[in-house]
Amino acid sequence: MSRVCRLLVALLLLALLAPAADQLRSLTILHTNDLHARISPDQEGRGGFAHLATVIRRERASAEACLLVDAGDFAQGTPVSTIYQGVPIFELVRRFGYDAATLGNHDFDYGTEMIPRFMRAARFPIVSANVVNPQGRLLTGRAYVIKNVQGIRVALIGAIMGGLRGFSTPERLGEWRALPPVDTVRKYAAEVRDRADLIVVLAHLEAAEQTELLRGAPEVGVIVAGHVHSILELAMEHDGRILVRSASYGRELGRLDLKLDLPAKKVVSWRWKRIPINAKSVPPAKDVAVQVAKWDARVDKVVNVPIGEARSEYPQPRLKSLIEEAMKEATGAELAFMNPGGVRDRLRRGPLVARDVWNVMPFDNTVVVGKVKGKQLPASVTAGKAVEPEREYTLAINDFTAANQPTQLGADGLVFSDTGKLLRDVIVAYIQKRQVLE
Ligand SMILES: [Zn+2]
């Protein structure tokens, strides 16, 4: 055979093996995560549910076959969530038209008994494969849902971090716990494999678990991740499988366009983009805007109360010290510790209203106090301070830190008693007493 012939034969074989362009199907996955109850745009004009809704509807209209999914943590982060225990958030996002979503650790902040209420308010499927009680019952009733999108069968499996208990308190979780996510996802992936052309995991996982799932679950074609708030600049890919994640607080919508070879159950090509939600240039969707305004007005009555003034910026590290001072003042404790991850916003220069403190401290955490010997004090508390090893010190922390001492405090087994004082009220009182923060 001549070289030209050999080349022709090779090309012919390639053409026979490769799926013809008309066998490929397009599927678009629009995705959000960690909306954290940010129903209105932030001070920089990013996000806002009504603006996000506009972009979702526009993108969906330009897609052939389309799914909208979320990777958890709808609730917790603003007063509307705290005051009404998360329910309005699920009522609002119902208007986005999600095909499925999963639970995030903060969706447990009001106790597991709220989850069925969230599911009723949402009306879209909320799936979670690995939150179970001792009898093995699934908290959400189902681990996955299979959607038929114009003939493309897509299995959507939900999963939460294995260390869920470390992100909550025993009272909130009760008997529920999280099974190891990757193994559990693989078990359900095997169960749905014959009934689905593509398996998608909605993954509210820690960063290392996200990578583990991408590398270790070959059945899974696409991972829509959440929980990790840092920006993912580029999608992650491993052996043709893809992991995507949007910015938190509804500041962007993710759009993953896939070309699928259905008989081979393979992603042939893909393109991912992050669409910024700019409230200044994107008009709000009217129906959502009306509902957001309704909730904002109800909340305003509670939180739009002047409490003082900040003469300078209080970024998170500075605010952490302020909160510790407030805890000491409210309890008379000699030492205080605030877990940095619990400081959820900064205080900006200018007049302060109670809402600013709600944004910093959306959680209903209480202040707890304990007596601790100097030598038992963890480095996170003593940092830079001289302590006498045998002397007993009073230490104020919050109940979340007390319930998660190894990860949050670097200690274990310290005993605290609850003062019943809400940390948020303690901070508000501290500012009100001074009126001016220099
Ligand atoms: Zn989370």
Q: What is the 3-state secondary structure (H, E, C) of the chain?
A: CCHHHHHHHHHHHHHHHCCCHHHEEEEEEEEECCCCCCCCCCCCCECCHHHHHHHHHHHHHCCCCEEEEECCCCCCCCHHHHHCCCHHHHHHHHHHCCCEECCCHHHHCCCHHHHHHHHHHHCCCECCCCEECCCCCECCCCCEEEEEECCEEEEEEEEECCCHHHHCCHHHHCCCEECCHHHHHHHHHHHHHHHCCEEEEEEECCHHHHHHHHHHCCCCCEEEECCCCCCCCCCEEECCEEEEECCCCCCEEEEEEEEEECCCCEEEEEEEEEEECECCCCCCCHHHHHHHHHHHHHHHHHHCCEEEEECCCECHHHHHHHHHHHHHHHHCCCEECCCHHHCCCCECCEEEEHHHHHHHCCCCCEEEEEEEEHHHCCHHHHCCCCCCCCCEEEEEEEHHHHHCHHHHCCCCCCCCEEEEEEHHHHHHHHHHHHCEEC
- The alpha carbon of 20 and the centre of ligand 1 are apart by a number of angstroms equal to 42
Q: State residue 168's pLDDT score.
A: 85
Q: Alpha-carbon distance 324 to 182, whole Å?
A: 38
- The alpha carbon of 106 and the centre of ligand 1 are apart by a number of angstroms equal to 6
With beta carbons less than 8 A apart as the criterion, state whether 140 and 133 touch.
no
* 19-296: in CATH 3.40.640.10: no
- The alpha carbon of 114 and the centre of ligand 1 are apart by a number of angstroms equal to 17
With beta carbons less than 8 A apart as the criterion, state whether 352 and 434 touch.
no
Choose among 341, 342, 340, 334: nearest CA to 369.
Answer: 334
- 10-residue mean pLDDT series, the chain (438 residues): 64 57 88 97 95 98 97 94 95 98 96 96 98 97 98 98 91 94 98 97 98 98 95 95 97 98 95 97 98 95 93 95 97 96 93 93 92 92 87 96 92 92 95 96
- The alpha carbon of 160 and the centre of ligand 1 are apart by a number of angstroms equal to 9
- The alpha carbon of 263 and the centre of ligand 1 are apart by a number of angstroms equal to 36
Fold topology of 305-437: 5'-nucleotidase;  domain 2 (3.90.780)
With beta carbons less than 8 A apart as the criterion, state whether 245 and 71 touch.
yes
- The alpha carbon of 359 and the centre of ligand 1 are apart by a number of angstroms equal to 17
- The alpha carbon of 73 and the centre of ligand 1 are apart by a number of angstroms equal to 6
Q: Alpha-carbon distance 399 to 420, whole Å?
A: 10
- The alpha carbon of 94 and the centre of ligand 1 are apart by a number of angstroms equal to 20
Q: State residue 21's pLDDT score.
A: 57
- The alpha carbon of 36 and the centre of ligand 1 are apart by a number of angstroms equal to 9
- The alpha carbon of 204 and the centre of ligand 1 are apart by a number of angstroms equal to 6
- The alpha carbon of 38 and the centre of ligand 1 are apart by a number of angstroms equal to 14
- The alpha carbon of 133 and the centre of ligand 1 are apart by a number of angstroms equal to 20
- The alpha carbon of 101 and the centre of ligand 1 are apart by a number of angstroms equal to 13
Alpha-carbon Rg for the chain, nearest whole angstrom, is 25
Q: Which two tokens stand for residue 304?
A: 């739009």
Q: State residue 6's pLDDT score.
A: 72
- The alpha carbon of 417 and the centre of ligand 1 are apart by a number of angstroms equal to 27
The residue assigned the tokens 């010190």 is 393
- The alpha carbon of 105 and the centre of ligand 1 are apart by a number of angstroms equal to 5
- Tell me the pairing of strands 417-422 and 366-373: antiparallel
Q: For the chain, what are the domain ranges?
A: 19-296, 305-437
Q: State residue 258's pLDDT score.
A: 98
- The alpha carbon of 229 and the centre of ligand 1 are apart by a number of angstroms equal to 8
- The alpha carbon of 294 and the centre of ligand 1 are apart by a number of angstroms equal to 27
CB neighbours of 8 closer than 8 A, spacing ≥ 6?
Answer: none
Q: State residue 89's pLDDT score.
A: 98
206-214 long-range contacts, CB within 8 A, separation 24+: 206/161, 206/163, 209/161, 209/162, 209/181, 209/182, 210/243, 210/245, 211/236, 212/182, 213/159, 213/181, 213/182, 213/185, 213/243, 214/238, 214/241, 214/243
- The alpha carbon of 387 and the centre of ligand 1 are apart by a number of angstroms equal to 36
Q: Alpha-carbon distance 42 to 78, whole Å?
A: 11
Neighbours of ion ligand 1 (CB under 5 A): 73, 104-105, 227
